[in-house]
A = this chain, B = another copy of it.
Amino acid sequence: MHAPPVSDLEGHDLREHVQGLVEIGDLASLQALLPRLHPSDVGDVLASLDEEKRVSLIKVLPVELASEALAEMEEDEERGDTLAALAPEQGAELLGKLEDDDAAGLIAELDPTERQRILDRLPADEAGEIRDLLLFEEETAGRLMTTSLVAVSEDISAEEAIAEVRRQGREVEDFYNVFVVDQHHVLQGTVPLDDLILANPATPVTTLVRPTDATVFPHVDQEEVGRLMSRYNMVIIPVVDPEGVLIGRITVDDVIDVMEAEQTEDLLLMAGVSDEEELRGDWNVAVRARLPWLAANLFTTFMAASVVLVFGKIIESFWFMAAIMPIVAGMGGNSGTQSLAVTVRRIAVTRGSLERRFDAVGKEALVGLLNGLALGMLAFTLAWIAVLIFPDVSHRLPWVVLMALWGNVMVGSSMGAIIPTTLHRLGIDPAIASSVFLTTFTDMIGFVLLLGLASALLL
């Protein structure tokens, strides 16, 4: 719950105005204006201030708004630092206003001592709930779920169920359905609120209940939660223990955040950026997140380059080979990058669904065969023109170019599918088959093919 925000259009102007206040650091005006913005927008304002100002502002904002804005801040590390910079009493006050899942997510950023200090100042039951959630590993369903929900017994009527909703619902935020459980609290299904309202009051709940399309165990990976909810168009997914006992629920808005974060991670991993990097982070974090990959890659590039040293003789004889090398290497890398992107995304999207069982690697190899032939023939033509212009160039050169290019495009296309498929089977994130390493590989193969064929046919 938050103060009524202004309409979208007004909101835009207001955000512009607030941005100006942030830039001049006018905390007093911000304090007055921010309650008119959505907590997500206030979270952005907090993120764009330096830590000292952020802490000062949080101290003067209404507690509910401050806590929700902090929970909505995207930069995890900075959220934690800010919470740690507050007095433990203030931290506890903020956490106390949040749903248990948001509170757990926020306090998880702190080190154990700081956590303890804040939890000690919360009411025992709230602290206990948060501690329970923290027992689940990060990035699992258990960490995303809230334990606050409405559950009714299966042997009552719609009218009694509504009375039960009124009794339990005051403490619960944003619920769109009622869970139906047996006497052991084992989940039997759900009744959407709209069905409950529409039903004749005397209707037994058993005739309204729908089986849930999917449930998850608390240790299930958050990506899997996202896939299930997206696949079955769910707004709420119940979390159950191995006996089927209902222990929590996950709402779709948390899952959307997860999906966005995972997609960012995939894209960055493919490009050789570690997941430490935050999109709006500072340069020093960026250097730390990227340099190790680049340094590792410098060595693999050296390896690829050392292949060239083997073929010194052909380059000494035909120095223009140095101009053809990047063409052959580059086209193999490009077709490999295409194949890699399609395969990585395909694995991410279709995981767990009924898969058409054609062989993805076979398809990519075929695509490489055909595209390689087409590109090879284009390059052959261009090389042929070069031969016509410079009569001292061997007539075999166009054939060398055709075969090397064709071969390298095939290799690139196939490897772009083989690498992520293999990694996925081994249980490794397929996106880590970064295009960076793939292109080093296609460089190497391209040099071997071109210079090897040239040595055999031109010398």
Counting CB contacts under 8 A, is A308 at the interface?
A: yes
Q: Which of A87-95, A111-119, A211-219 faces chain B?
A: A211-219
Determine whether the beta carbon of B198 is less than 8 Å from that of A169: yes
Minimal Cβ-Cβ distance residue in B for A198: B169
Counting CB contacts under 8 A, is A28 at the interface?
A: no
User: Could you say which of B11, B280, B286 contacts A367, with CB atoms under 8 Å apart?
Assistant: B286
A interface, over-half SS: helix
Give the residues in chain B near A272, CB-CB below 8 Å.
334, 337-338
Interface residues of A in 359-394 (CB under 8 A from B): 363-364, 366-367, 370-371, 374-375, 378-379, 382
Would A286 and B342 be within 8 Å (CB), given that A267-B267, A323-B305 are in contact?
yes
Determine whether the beta carbon of A337 is less than 8 Å from that of B435: yes
Determine whether the beta carbon of B326 is less than 8 Å from that of A326: yes
Determine whether the beta carbon of B8 is less than 8 Å from that of A214: yes
Minimal Cβ-Cβ distance residue in B for A18: B354
Determine whether the beta carbon of A273 is less than 8 Å from that of B342: yes
Q: Which of A51-59, A126-134, A226-234, A419-427 faces chain B?
A: A226-234
Give the residues in chain B near A211, CB-CB below 8 Å.
4-7
Which A residues lie at the B interface, using CB under 8 A? 4-8, 11, 15, 18-19, 22-23, 38, 40-41, 44-45, 47-48, 162, 165-166, 169-170, 172, 174-176, 192-194, 196-198, 210-211, 213-215, 228-235, 252-253, 256-257, 259-260, 263-264, 266-268, 270-273, 277, 279-280, 282-283, 286-287, 290-291, 293-295, 297-298, 301-302, 304-306, 308-309, 312, 315-316, 319-327, 329-331, 333-335, 337-338, 340-342, 344-346, 349-350, 353-357, 363-364, 366-367, 370-371, 374-375, 378-379, 382, 409, 435-436, 439-440, 443, 447
10 closest A-B pairs by beta carbon, nearest first, are A271-B341, A233-B253, A44-B354, A308-B323, A322-B322, A279-B346, A315-B319, A48-B356, A193-B193, A305-B323
- 19 inter-chain pairs at a CB distance below 8 angstroms, sorted by A residue, are A4-B211, A8-B215, A196-B197, A234-B253, A263-B345, A267-B344, A268-B342, A271-B435, A273-B338, A273-B341, A277-B342, A279-B350, A283-B370, A291-B371, A294-B409, A305-B326, A309-B320, A319-B319, A322-B325
